[in-house]
Amino acid sequence: MGRSAPPPAGDLPPDAFFERARRVLPVSHHDALMAALTEPRPVWLRVNTLVATPQEVRSSLGVPTEPGPWPEALRVEPEHRSAVLRHDLYGAGAIYLQSLSSQAAAPALDPQPGEEIVDLCAAPGSKTSHLAALMRTGTLVANEVSKGRSHKLRAVLAQLRVSGRESLDVRVRTGDGVRFRGHRECFDRVLVDAPCSGEGRFHVGDPRSWGGWSPRKVKVTASKQKALLHAAIDATRPGGVIVYATCTLAPEENEGVLARALKRYDGVVHLEPLPVPLETALPALTQWGAGKGFPPSIAEHARRIPPGPAWDGFFLARLRKAE
Ligand SMILES: C[S@@+](CC[C@H](N)C(=O)[O-])C[C@H]1O[C@@H](n2cnc3c(N)ncnc32)[C@H](O)[C@@H]1O
């Protein structure tokens, strides 16, 4: 993963990113990271089961699809992307373009019918709409800090037929997710799909993907993530579940944020196994930098998805609040 043989087109993220990534990822994953940065990204659909079944989509889409690790996930070749976007199924909200890693977050939360759930950082709504399809009945609060992105969120929820359902009360809220700490123990489950440095989605075709990245930005972002995860824990009922997700490789934003929450909420939350098949995932790190190491339950239960031919870089952890 050197910079001696640059890819054919585009610029590359800063050297400091590569220096860190070499320490974060095992050597066996360095070439895969470079390939993920430079080769066309895989195209994954999620079948919106509020509108159609995977079988219906596969038989009507008109382009070859490969099944993914769960029934709603279908892979199509990048050259068929625009045909998919033009298809009536897309217009009808039956399919949604969503990376495989992103598709793992809602099943990791495992929402149940009739529950009260909040998605703390929701726009543009990929995971909120997935949560809706899994729970079907109950209350789903989709919160987003940015007004502009809230509009996009509403549009996606309308497009995917999530809003306006009699059995599902969907409420879009615009504001800082941290204020949910005031909704003490109100929700059965909370998803924190945190704003992050996005290292798992860097790509040469999209220099904006790393624009603004710096080691300092990673630190600042980790502090915001910490506040969001603490608010999520405060807002969860005893016995409830919190999922913490990012699309970055940065340990400060992943293991570091979990370690601080486990310390602050010692005896109140614990990590538990992720109920999703993540075949290429790595255990979370046990140590980063000069610190004294992360609590062992983090490596045991949290998972890093390294960037690869099918998956974007991602991090997922599931916490349970004590009864
Ligand atoms: C990783 S994206 C979420 C993607 C979304 N969950 C999805 O699957 O479509 C993070 C989002 O958090 C929002 N955000 C940033 N800071 C926030 C905060 N303090 N409270 C709530 N949302 C925040 C960002 O504007 C961004 O839309």
pLDDT at residue number 40: 92
* 130 and 87 co-located in one domain: no
Q: How many whole angstroms from 121 Cα to the centroid of ligand 1?
A: 4
pLDDT at residue number 78: 94
pLDDT at residue number 238: 98
* 19 and 45 co-located in one domain: yes
pLDDT at residue number 291: 76
* 86 and 116 co-located in one domain: no
Domain boundary among 60, 75, 97: 97
Contacts of 271 (CB under 8 A, 6+ apart): 258, 262, 297, 298, 300, 301, 302, 317, 318, 319, 320
* 83 and 195 co-located in one domain: no
54 within some domain: yes
* 314 and 242 co-located in one domain: yes
Whose Cα sits closest to atom 6 in ligand 1? 122
Q: Is 316 in the pocket of ligand 1 (CB under 6 A)?
A: no
CATH number, domain of 315, equals 3.40.50.150
* 28 and 130 co-located in one domain: no
Residue 34: domain span: 15-97
Whose Cα sits closest to atom 27 in ligand 1? 123
* 245 and 110 co-located in one domain: yes
* Residues marked as catalytic: 247
5 within some domain: no
* 114 and 81 co-located in one domain: no
1 within some domain: no
Q: Is 13 in the pocket of ligand 1 (CB under 6 A)?
A: no
pTM: 0.96
pLDDT at residue number 305: 98
Q: Is 145 in the pocket of ligand 1 (CB under 6 A)?
A: yes
Q: Is 139 in the pocket of ligand 1 (CB under 6 A)?
A: no
pLDDT at residue number 3: 44
Tens of pLDDT, residue by residue over 187-239, are: 999 999 999 999 999 999 999 999 999 999 999 999 999 999 999 999 999 99
Query: Counting atoms of ligand 1 from 1, which one is nearest the CA of 195?
Result: 10
Q: Is 110 in the pocket of ligand 1 (CB under 6 A)?
A: no
Domain count for the chain: 2
3 within some domain: no
Query: Counting atoms of ligand 1 from 1, which one is nearest the CA of 120?
Result: 21
* 137 and 43 co-located in one domain: no
7 within some domain: no
Domain boundary among 97, 131, 151: 97
pLDDT at residue number 10: 53
9 within some domain: no
Q: Is 124 in the pocket of ligand 1 (CB under 6 A)?
A: yes
CATH number, domain of 74, equals 3.30.70.1170
pLDDT at residue number 23: 96
Which residues of the chain register pLDDT less than 50? 2-9
161 within some domain: yes
Domain boundary among 35, 63, 97: 97
* 112 and 33 co-located in one domain: no
* 30 and 57 co-located in one domain: yes
pLDDT at residue number 5: 45
* 92 and 127 co-located in one domain: no
4 within some domain: no
Ligand 1 pocket check: which of 121, 129, 172, 314 to mutate, most ligand atoms within 8 Å of Cβ?
121
pLDDT at residue number 279: 87
